């Protein structure tokens, strides 16, 4: 456990040292703020004190930002050779992968925490459904966990950051859009199957205020699978042929 | 801390990078790995440090196998990889702290160990810089510092002096020799005088196999066999007489005049005897002046070349 935290702390700090954390937080708040307050179906247009516009924008912003954060995680270390040094320290492959996962997750949580003033101001305007907001944030975190683990897996199978970025977007698009489209095109069991794989129904049901164990299992199992695959790829160097 | 390598084999595809090697390194020994590029030195080190699994065979560190006790072994080893990979964006001190914590140094001792390492490797003037800003020599010192930060009982150093200037090389060698008094050290290098200067024992590896194992003196003796002397005599009336008289000495097996140098000869003695005394006495008897009498040693370079070229 301690090792995971040591690795996570270093990774998190490297985001802040390299400005990427500041850029993420600024752009995230800028984009979500713009669409929440100023443009399109903003809350004045809807005429309701709700954070719904915020969440739907945050959803897409994170979808693009998380791959940009995870792409360097393993790919860069493999390329520069620091992975060799890291893995010859008394840490397991799983601790390395989990530490990196935790670092990105913490950064996303920090970015989300900075959006709390939006919540406070909206709640001053009118009556807000607090439960829906809290669950909205909770859903955001679950969704981020899924994409982070996909991103780390993508980063583990290549030495090239750009390839890792594109690959995690590609996988992400399946969960976000393609399974959704497929589920609409098929009926019966296959349709249900794709509907279950698609991320948006699970997210929406949580954002609506319903916590179903089915949805929790969905997010947690994709996260675990992603991390497990990344760990497996990392351990491949160790496999005896 | 002893290291026992047993029948170690590592294949990359069909190529055998390490081919069934067996050796033992005893506690407190400094062993130098010598070998041409691609001989299997780095691969062997990567296996001992638990970075890679071998295709076959086993490594036991103090009786613990790399197949079952990776975490325990990793704690005891300090490793400096060949390319000395470091996080360039991190400041030196912060990186050393990270390495210390990851290596399980107790929190109360972390600062103490960092100060000790900075002193030992002479990083004091550079300690606040980012690693990326350092010169190659200082980066190498950071690499050494991180390898030693948890005071490991075994040090594995893959080409520790590459990129250092001559003064730094001397310092690092001195450091390794000092550390070697209480630690077990395996180091690899291309530089032959280095391995002689630092290591107690030399392992020459070629094409994944150990082709020589022993101290520098032993290796020389094995390669040489008989004594070879270079002799120069002046104030002799006739070089033919000198040649014949020398040839007739009972300990001399073979004599060769050195071309283009007057009265200079290479003399091979017979096995297990020395001709030095006889040559001297001969000169005294004939009133010749002996201006040179040099034993020619087989150089480590020659041994190395002979063993590693086919």
pLDDT in tens, A175-192: 988 888 888 888 888 888
pLDDT tens-digit profile of B42-59?
999 999 999 988 988 999
Question: Out of A45-49, A194-198, A207-211, which region has the weakest mean confidence (pLDDT)?
Answer: A45-49
In the predicted structure, residue A149 carries a pLDDT above the cut 90: yes
The β-bridge relationship of strands B154-158 and B184-189 is parallel
CA closest to A76 among chain B residues:
B87
What is the overall mean pLDDT for chain B?
86
pLDDT at A187: 81
Of A130, A150, A168, the closest CA to residue A219 belongs to: A150
Q: Is B274 helix (H, G, I), strand (E, B) or coil?
A: coil
> B308 lies in a domain?
no
pLDDT at B229: 83
Residues above pLDDT 70, as percent of chain A: 98
How far apart are the C-alpha atoms of B34 and B44, rounded to whole Å? 12
Give the start-to-end residue ranges of the domains of chain A. Answer: 2-235
Beta-carbon separation of A88 and B87 below 8 A: no
How far apart are the C-alpha atoms of A157 and A230, rounded to whole Å? 8
Average pLDDT on B210-215 reads 87
pLDDT tens-digit profile of A82-111?
999 999 999 999 999 999 999 999 999 999
Tell me which of B164, B191, B214 is where a domain ends: B214
The whole-angstrom distance between residue A179's C-alpha and the CA centroid of its chain comes to 18
> B221 lies in a domain?
no
How far apart are the C-alpha atoms of B232 and A62, rounded to whole Å? 85
The residue written with tokens 């004599």 in the block is: B255
Beta-carbon separation of B51 and A14 below 8 A: no
H-helix or E-strand spanning residue B188: strand B184-189
Q: Are residues B199 and B244 in the same domain?
A: no
Q: Is A241 on the interface with B (CB under 8 A)?
A: yes
Assess contact for A155 and A231: CB atoms under 8 A.
no
Angstroms from B47 CA to nearest CA on chain A: 10
In the predicted structure, residue A241 carries a pLDDT above the cut 50: no
Pairwise pLDDT comparison (B307 vs A231), residue with the higher score? A231
Question: Out of A120-129, A136-145, B111-120, B229-238, which region has the weakest mean confidence (pLDDT)?
Answer: B229-238
Show the tokens assigned to B12: 């990359």
Q: Which of A5, A83, A85 to mutate to test the interface with B (most CBs of B within 10 A)?
A: A85
The residue written with tokens 């030196």 in the block is: B92
- Residue B80, strand partner residues: B157
> B27 lies in a domain?
yes
Q: Which residues of B touch A87 (CB under 8 A)?
A: 51
Residue A50 CB neighbours (<10 A): 19
List the helix and strand counts (H, then E) for chain A.
Answer: 14, 0
Average pLDDT on B142-147 reads 92
Q: CATH no. for residue B103?
A: 3.40.50.300
pLDDT tier, B112 (very low <50, low <70, confident <90, very high otherwise): very high
Assess contact for A57 and A65: CB atoms under 8 A.
no
In the predicted structure, residue B83 carries a pLDDT above the cut 50: yes
Select from A81, A88, A238 the Cβ nearest to the Cβ of B74: A88
- Residue B201, strand partner residues: B31
pLDDT at B225: 65
Q: Are residues B14 and B157 in the same domain?
A: yes
Strands (E), B47-182: 56-61, 64-65, 77-80, 154-158
Beta-carbon separation of B83 and A241 below 8 A: no
> B307 lies in a domain?
no
Assess contact for A2 and B107: CB atoms under 8 A.
no
Q: Is B252 helix (H, G, I), strand (E, B) or coil?
A: strand
Instruction: Report pTM.
Output: 0.85
Under 8 Å CB pairs connecting chains A and B tally to: 64
pLDDT at A225: 96
> B305 lies in a domain?
no
Tell me which of B214, B236, B251 is where a domain ends: B214
Q: Which residues of A touch B11 (CB under 8 A)?
A: 241
pLDDT at B224: 66
Looking at the 3D structure of chain B, how many domains does it have? 2
Angstroms from A19 CA to nearest CA on chain B: 12
Q: Are residues B210 and B263 in the same domain?
A: no
Q: Is A80 on the interface with B (CB under 8 A)?
A: yes
> B302 lies in a domain?
no
Assess contact for B208 and B17: CB atoms under 8 A.
yes
pLDDT at B48: 92
How far apart are the C-alpha atoms of B115 and B124, rounded to whole Å? 9
Q: Which residues of B touch A84 (CB under 8 A)?
A: 46, 51, 81, 85
pLDDT at B135: 87
pLDDT tens-digit profile of B242-301?
788 878 887 888 888 888 777 788 888 877 778 888 888 888 888 888 888 888 776 777
Assess contact for B186 and B25: CB atoms under 8 A.
yes
pLDDT at B143: 92
Angstroms from A179 CA to nearest CA on chain B: 39
Pairwise pLDDT comparison (B277 vs B100), residue with the higher score? B100
In the predicted structure, residue A6 carries a pLDDT above the cut 90: yes
Tell me which of B214, B238, B262 is where a domain ends: B214
Q: Is B303 helix (H, G, I), strand (E, B) or coil?
A: helix
The residue written with tokens 């630690």 in the block is: B183
Q: Are residues B123 and B187 in the same domain?
A: yes
pLDDT tier, B230 (very low <50, low <70, confident <90, very high otherwise): confident
H-helix or E-strand spanning residue B169: helix B166-180
Residue B222 CB neighbours (<10 A): 12
Q: Are residues B231 and B110 in the same domain?
A: no
Q: Which residues of A touch B148 (CB under 8 A)?
A: none
pLDDT at A141: 94
Q: Is B75 on the interface with A (CB under 8 A)?
A: yes
Q: Are residues B165 and B205 in the same domain?
A: yes
Average pLDDT on B97-108 reads 93
The residue written with tokens 């969440």 in the block is: A55
Angstroms from A127 CA to nearest CA on chain B: 47
CA closest to B130 among chain A residues:
A17
pLDDT tens-digit profile of A22-81?
998 999 999 988 888 887 777 777 777 778 888 888 889 999 999 999 999 999 999 999
Domain that holds residue B96: 3-214
> B185 lies in a domain?
yes
Q: Are residues B246 and B164 in the same domain?
A: no
Q: CATH no. for residue B244?
A: 3.30.70.100
> B303 lies in a domain?
no
Query: What are the distances in angstroms from CA B55 to CA A176, B7, B9, B39, B74?
Result: 42, 10, 6, 17, 20
């Amino acid at each position: 456990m301690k090792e995971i935290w040591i690795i996570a702390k270093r990774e998190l700090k490297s985001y802040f040292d390299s400005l990427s954390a500041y850029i993420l937080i600024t752009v995230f708040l800028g984009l979500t703020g713009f669409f929440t307050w100023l443009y399109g179906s903003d809350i004045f247009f809807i005429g309701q004190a709700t954070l719904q516009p915020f969440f739907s924008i945050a959803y897409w912003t994170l979808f693009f930002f998380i791959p940009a954060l995870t792409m360097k995680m393993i790919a860069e270390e493999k390329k520069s050779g620091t992975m060799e040094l890291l893995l010859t320290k008394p840490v397991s492959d799983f601790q390395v992968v989990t530490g990196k996962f935790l670092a990105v997750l913490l950064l996303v949580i920090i970015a989300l925490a900075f959006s709390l003033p939006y919540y406070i101001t909206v709640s001053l305007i009118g009556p807000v459904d607090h439960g829906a907001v809290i669950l909205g944030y909770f859903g955001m975190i679950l969704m981020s966990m899924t994409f982070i683990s996909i991103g780390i897996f993508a980063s583990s199978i290549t030495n090239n950051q750009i390839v890792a970025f594109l690959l995690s977007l590609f996988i992400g698009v399946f969960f976000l859009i393609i399974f959704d489209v497929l589920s609409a095109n098929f009926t019966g069991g296959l349709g249900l199957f794709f509907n279950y794989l698609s991320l948006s129904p699970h997210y929406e049901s949580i954002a609506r205020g319903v916590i179903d164990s089915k949805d929790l299992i969905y997010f947690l199992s994709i996260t675990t699978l992603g991390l497990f695959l990344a760990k497996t790829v990392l351990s491949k160097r160790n496999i005896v042929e | 801390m002893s290291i026992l390598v047993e029948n170690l084999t590592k294949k990359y595809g069909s190529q055998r990078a390490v081919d069934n090697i067996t050796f033992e390194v005893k506690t407190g020994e400094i062993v130098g790995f010598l070998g041409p590029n691609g001989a299997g030195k780095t691969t062997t080190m990567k296996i001992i440090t638990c970075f890679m699994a071998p295709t076959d065979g086993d490594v036991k560190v103090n009786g613990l196998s790399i197949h079952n006790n990776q975490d325990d072994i990793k704690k005891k080893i300090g490793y400096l990889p060949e390319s000395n990979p470091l996080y360039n964006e991190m400041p030196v001190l912060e990186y050393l702290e990270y390495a210390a914590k990851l290596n399980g140094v107790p929190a109360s001792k972390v600062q103490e160990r960092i100060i000790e390492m900075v002193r030992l490797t002479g990083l004091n003037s550079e300690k606040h810089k980012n690693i990326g800003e350092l010169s190659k020599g200082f980066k190498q010192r950071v690499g050494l510092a991180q390898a030693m930060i948890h005071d490991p009982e075994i040090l594995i150093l893959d080409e520790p002096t590459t990129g250092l200037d001559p003064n730094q090389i001397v310092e690092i060698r001195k450091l390794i020799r000092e550390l070697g008094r209480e630690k077990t050290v395996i180091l690899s290098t291309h530089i032959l005088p280095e391995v002689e200067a630092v290591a107690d024992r030399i392992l020459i590896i070629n094409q994944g196999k150990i082709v020589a194992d022993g101290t520098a003196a032993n290796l020389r003796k094995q390669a040489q066999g008989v004594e070879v002397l270079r002799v120069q005599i002046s104030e002799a009336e006739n070089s033919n007489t000198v040649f014949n008289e020398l040839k007739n000495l009972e300990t001399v097996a073979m004599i060769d005049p050195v071309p283009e140098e007057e009265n200079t000869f290479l003399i091979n003695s017979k096995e297990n005897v020395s001709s030095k005394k006889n040559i001297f006495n001969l000169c005294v008897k004939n009133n010749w002046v002996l201006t040179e009498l040099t034993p020619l040693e087989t150089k480590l370079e020659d041994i190395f070349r002979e063993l590693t070229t086919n």
